[in-house]
Amino acid sequence: MATTTYTVTGMTCGHCVSSVKEEVSEVTGVTGVEVDLATGLLTVQSDNPVEAGQISAAVEAAGYEVANRS
């Protein structure tokens, strides 16, 4: 199992969190998504590593931006 954390900017409410979770959950290979509004942290779990570009594209589709990945 792989876990990767990203920082998402622009989220201001629970609806923002839901939008990001929904889009990222649809990325092939993702098995779990957690979003913390207060810190902007997006934690993605997957069976195998998922390309950062796919996660960034999903976040952008939700209307937000990935500031960095750790």
pTM summary value? 0.93
DSSP state of 69: E
pLDDT score for 15: 97
Which of the two residues, 54 and 69, has the higher pLDDT score?
54
- DSSP for 21-36, please give it: HHHHHTSTTEEEEEEE
Q: Is residue 55 a contact partner of residue 67, using CB atoms and an 8 Å limit? A: no
Phi, psi of 42 (to 5 degrees): -115, 120
pLDDT score for 68: 83
Q: Which of 21, 49, 15, 23 is nearest to 35 (CA)?
A: 21
- Class of the CATH-defined domain 2-69: alpha beta
In this model, does residue 69 exceed pLDDT 80? no
Predicted confidence (pLDDT) per residue in 27-50, tens digit: 999 999 999 999 999 999 999 999
pLDDT score for 55: 97
